Structure 1
């Protein structure tokens, strides 16, 4: 009996020691209102490199989880590598639900979400535990599209202090940016699946190739055979369409690609370590 109790006690200790870190809620001031965010921060005084992570059109959280598993997975991975991770909740802060299928969208990636990025950056610049010259951006889908707007030379922050160190955009919608002659002032990596029928790999390639020679470093990696959401863990490939679920795109295929997921993890680590 005593051996069983000892084994149970040791098991509980190990589970506590390996428990996933809980994010800390923070409030970031905006010109009008407050931007709610979740923060994963390493132990200690720092200074730590930081990543502002931007959710897709399905939102950051659910009723039971302040950070959805797909973003928590990346946040914990970045945290283990020594980064602080700030996840602003652009929709929840404005009492909005998922926006994937909202036709008359008054909330724009190129407007409100860029404002949120600037506010998040300004907040991080005031934290003593942040390595101010090593703050990067990372986004998925709609968040990645906002990132593309935020790193354009025309969107340069006016506050004093270092600019973003780097940016990583997972499967953004590049079609508007490609048509506007996009360029970036920040080294920017675009990651997209070759079979992505939600976003457009050809438009992203056109956008990045068109920026060569008049831009900071921009690179695109197209993972052959991978679909939209390829980096999302444990998601069987499936088609979306029909219905009224504002948390998923109107059409296309979503699902994990194990090989592309692993490659993207290596690509992101190398890009952020530049």
Structure 2
């Protein structure tokens, strides 16, 4: 299920601000999904990219919004999020995927978050892709662009590797 937090609110982007309503949107989607007979609530993961990745980390941060919710995600994947918005203590197994050349959401901030984790909560895995910039999985950015003063570019190797890494993570975390 893909959640569009912007259209109904008339928002075009959140590239220069945090948008905390996305966390509630994620849990609203989870609540809806669990009412569907074909959805196994023990196998629902949350995934987001960039600002969506930030929402993922905020949604599954141990003791934060997740503590208030009846339904729980079972795993989380955040593509190139800002790791400075969280303690790194997660309520569910979490995979963070970032590019070494990302100047918008730097890998260094994710490494620092990982170093400062106390070990509480679930495992968190950080994968940094060499030579990858922000939006490394966006095939429409093959030539690269500047957006809000940051460089975004598709990287086929990193994109393919991230898809494999995500698949392995979900298989190991949620089963086949």
Length-normalised TM-score, structure 2: 0.89
State the secondary structure of the residue aligned to 2:40. strand
CA contact (8 A) 1:171 1:190 kept: yes
Q: Which runs of 5+ in 1 are unaligned?
A: 1-85, 241-248
Change (3 A) 1:160 1:114: closer
Change (3 A) 1:122 1:157: farther
Q: Which runs of 5+ in 2 are unaligned?
A: none
CA contact (8 A) 1:237 1:254 kept: no
* Residue equivalent to 1:267: 165
2:148 aligned to which of 250, 256, 261: 250
* Residue equivalent to 1:98: 13
Q: What is the deviation of 1:156?
A: 1.9
Name the CA distance, whole Å, in 2 between partners of 1:237 and 1:171: 19
1:125 aligned to which of 24, 34, 45: 34
Name the CA distance, whole Å, in 1 between partners of 2:168 and 2:125: 13
1:146 aligned to which of 55, 59, 69: 55
* Residue equivalent to 2:22: 113
Name the CA distance, whole Å, in 2 between partners of 1:238 and 1:256: 7
Does 2:88 match 1:182? yes
Structure with the largest fraction of strand: 1
CA contact (8 A) 1:137 1:166 kept: yes
Name the CA distance, whole Å, in 2 between partners of 1:259 and 1:136: 24
* Residue equivalent to 1:167: 76
CA contact (8 A) 1:183 1:211 kept: yes
- Structure of higher CA gyration radius: 1
1:158-186 CA-to-partner distances (Å, cap 9, x unmatched) read 4545x212111000012232xxx331011
CA contact (8 A) 1:212 1:218 kept: no
1:31-52 CA-to-partner distances (Å, cap 9, x unmatched) read xxxxxxxxxxxxxxxxxxxxxx
RMSD: 1.7
Length-normalised TM-score, structure 1: 0.59
1:123-149 CA-to-partner distances (Å, cap 9, x unmatched) read 111111101100001100000001111
Q: What is the deviation of 1:211?
A: 2.1
Q: What is the deviation of 1:89?
A: 0.8
CA contact (8 A) 1:239 1:251 kept: no
Name the CA distance, whole Å, in 2 between partners of 1:209 and 1:143: 23
Name the CA distance, whole Å, in 1 between partners of 2:90 and 2:132: 26
